[in-house]
Amino acid sequence: MNEGIESVKNTSKNRGNRQIVNFMSEKLKRIFISIIVPILFLCIWTIAANKIDNPIILPHISQVLDNFRHATNDFIGLGSIPKNILGSIPKNILVSLVRVLLGYVIGVIIALPLGILMGYKENISLLFSTFINIFRPVPALGWVPLILAWFGVASLATLFKIPYGPKQVFFNNFKFAMIFIIGIGTFFPVVSGAAFGVKNVPKTLIESAKVLGASNRDIFFKILLPGAGPNIINGLRGGLGSAWGCLVAAEMLPGSLSGVGYMITHAYELARTDLVITGIICIGLVGALLDYIFILVERKHFAWVSRR
């Protein structure tokens, strides 16, 4: 009897060990596959840089890594935050991040309720769809002349009438024209995702709720919004990616003296290709980190979507 029980325990233990080994093997396999292309890219970069041997055309990887090692240095006098707050790369990332978040939040505040209403009410969808579809294809750079005519170089410092000093210098970085461009980039993916999500909630769920006596309020908040959640999150995720992508266009506007986009364009003017690549990597890494936040939200709250 005891031998049988012991045998069952050993079998269960062995099965558990095999599952752990299989899980670890699968995990290592996925990690290995995911780093193949980056490693190949770095190899090609190294070979090409050695072959070209011209840092203005293609700098060596070591030059770019050296920029990250000395990230707190004020490389070429970029940025307008006082030097004793942050170094050049961190301070420009900080300014860019605040700009993106300001534009993103404003875009979401307008787009999310509108998209939900467009998905919920057919008449509202008919009212706004044509107007939105006309302007959706216009790229961020296409808005620049009009936005400059509207806002000029006015900033948050102008709005709050901050006297000249460190605070004025900081808030002057956040110009309305830049925030507007980033907000426009945010608006279209968010409104589309929200409208699509609400429209595509299964009608059977809504009809079943009505049969069971649910009110319109309950249907809206307990069926439509949770059912549309995955598409809304995808829209928010796409909007953040678009907002971050509009950053360089926004920071090319007159009056910009800081930010990663400004760092890239100004470094190009000074033939600092290594710093241009450093800025591109910074934009990619921060954008990927922000995107990963939405991936975590999807995994936590909408894991059921992948199991359908």
How far apart, in whole angstroms, are the C-alpha atoms of residue 67 and residue 272?
11
What are the angstrom distances between the C-alpha of 277 and each of 152, 243, 252, 282?
A: 30, 20, 17, 9
Question: What is this structure's pTM?
Answer: 0.81
Q: What is the mean pLDDT of residues 271-290?
A: 90
Per-residue H/E/C for 264-281:
HHHHHHCCCHHHHHHHHH
Could you tell me the two tokens for 57? 């055309």
Q: What's the pLDDT tens digit per position in 15-28?
A: 656 667 676 777 78
Q: What is the SS3 string spanning the chain?
A: CHHHHHHHHHHHHHHHHHHHHHHHHHHHHHHHHHHHHHHHHHHHHHHHHHHHCCCCCCCCHHHHHHHHHCCCCCCCCCCCCCCCCCCHHHHHHHHHHHHHHHHHHHHHHHHHHHHHHHHHCHHHHHHHHHHHHHHCCCCHHHHHHHHHHHHCCCEHHHHHCCCCCHHHHHHCCCEHHHHHHHHHHHHHHHHHHHHHHHHCCCHHHHHHHHHCCCCHHHHHHHHHHHHHHHHHHHHHHHHHHHHHHCHHHHCCCCCCCCCHHHHHHHHHHCCCHHHHHHHHHHHHHHHHHHHHHHHHHHHHHCHHHHCC
Question: Residue 9: pLDDT band by 50, 70, 90 thresholds?
Answer: low
- How many beta carbons lie within 10 A of that of residue 259, not counting itself? 32
Give residue 1's pLDDT.
Answer: 52
The pLDDT value recorded for residue 83 is 46
Q: What percent of the chain has pLDDT over 90?
A: 31
Q: Name the nearest CA neighbour of 254 among 180, 150, 148, 126.
A: 148
How many angstroms separate the CA atoms of 296 and 302, rounded?
Answer: 10
Comparing C-alpha atoms, which of 283, 183, 286 is closest to residue 243? 183
- 270-280 tens-digit pLDDT: 888 999 999 99
Candidate CATH numbers 3.90.1150.10, 2.90.10.10, 1.25.40.10, 1.10.3720.10; the one for domain 66-306: 1.10.3720.10
Higher pLDDT, 33 or 9: 33
CA 129 from centre of chain: 25
Domain ranges of the chain: 2-53, 66-306
The answer to whether the CB of 99 falls within 8 A of the CB of 259 is yes
Q: So what's the pLDDT on residue 296?
A: 86
Please write the tens of the pLDDT for every residue from 42-89.
999 999 999 998 999 999 999 999 988 888 877 655 444 444 444 478
pLDDT the model gives residue 11: 57
